Structure 1
Amino acid sequence: MTDKKKPTSVNAEGIFEPFSVENVPWENWSENTRYGSRSRYLSGFGGASHVGVAMEELAPGMESTLNHYHMLEEEQALILAGEMTLKLGEKTYLVKTGDYVCFPAGQKAGHSFYNHSDAPCRFLIIGEKNPHDVIVYPETGRVSVRLTGEGYDKSATMDYWQGADTNKKK
């Protein structure tokens, strides 16, 4: 198996230089016919490790992600071209070119985008890359713990002492 290194803007001296967004390759992903987009991972190409910035393009009829919110990580989005629907908590909003939205850490309102239009919508998504983040998915009940790389069912909550032997050992 060949480990193919992703291209970056690093020069021969190890310095990450300015680059054209057009030099960053598009990456496509999808989960069946409902979810998927293509993106250019700009911050990774430029060598960043603390803040993530990606240019995403959401095709007509597609959703960007499962509706979710972050406990420790903040996200922000700038709509560059087109329009789409933002689902934020129980409300929906039309967002279009020039609109900006913040998703503060700990705001317990799930967010996701859906392209209701007949043209692609392009946007920047900006976020911290907090290795300790906990992500909650209100529609599915999933809770993801980034530190452990594991996911849990939110309905399977436990009392603090549940499962512990609370009797003195003799």
Structure 2
Amino acid sequence: MAHIFNEENISYKLKESKIPEFSWHSSQELSKIVNSQNLKFDLRMLDSGKYSYPYHFHRNAEEIFIILSGKAMLRTPKKFVELNEGDIIFFEMGPEGAHQLYNHTQKPCKYLDIRTDIGIDVCEYPDSNKINILPYQEVYQKNSTVDYFKGEDKVKEKWGEKFSR
């Protein structure tokens, strides 16, 4: 069944953070309405002087932005570039796909955000050295990594006397 979305059947909700510069309007996640299995998509609107999510990349998701109206500056690992209406931007998995938008104009920037959803994703934030386990929203400082076997040295005690030789 085809599902058609347009200005008449889409509403936006303001998403604000503790940091006022990170604020955007988002449609309800359209992919949930249609019960999409492998794609997440929604419309976003970035007001003047606002940033999208913190600078980040995904370990297990590809993402595409389609600029529907307005302009925004895109930050990538190698450059800053102005995006215009009609631009289609693909972000690959991994550090090379890191991105963030900033609306440097006086008019809102509307864009379609499409991303793959094939299970658990790890989103990394290079500016703050954090990782986020999605969809659970478990956020950790990346610099607290430990050796794989840390704390595993007393395995016999955890099994108890019954099974120890």
Give me the TM-score of the superposition, normalised by structure 1. 0.80
Equivalent residue number for residue 36 of structure 1: 23
CA offsets per residue over residues 8-57 of structure 1, 9 Å max, x none?
A: xxxxxxx7754544212212111141111112233233332421111111
Q: What secondary structure, in the 3-state scheme, does the structure 2 residue paired with 1:22 have?
A: coil
Equivalent residue number for residue 74 of structure 1: 62
Asked if residue 120 in structure 1 is aligned to residue 108 in structure 2, the reply is yes
Is the Cα–Cα contact under 8 Å of residues 44 and 111 in structure 2 kept in the other structure? Answer: yes
Is the Cα–Cα contact under 8 Å of residues 60 and 121 in structure 2 kept in the other structure? Answer: yes
Equivalent residue number for residue 23 of structure 1: 9
> Whose helix proportion is higher, 1 or 2?
2
Structure 2 counterpart of 1:128, one-letter code? T
- Deviation of 1:86 after TM superposition, in Å, equals 0.5
Structure 1 counterpart of 2:114, one-letter code? I
Q: Whole-Å Cα distance in 1 between the matches of residues 91 and 99 of structure 2?
A: 8
Asked if residue 65 in structure 1 is aligned to residue 53 in structure 2, the reply is yes
Structure 1 unaligned spans of 5+: 1-14
Structure 1 counterpart of 2:43, one-letter code? M
Identity rate, percent: 28
Structure 2 counterpart of 1:34, one-letter code? E
- Deviation of 1:68 after TM superposition, in Å, equals 0.6
CA offsets per residue over residues 104-160 of structure 1, 9 Å max, x none?
A: 122444211010111111111101123311111101111111265422111111122
CA offsets per residue over residues 54-100 of structure 1, 9 Å max, x none?
A: 11110000001011100010100011111111011142111111111
Asked if residue 95 in structure 1 is aligned to residue 95 in structure 2, the reply is no
Equivalent residue number for residue 7 of structure 1: none
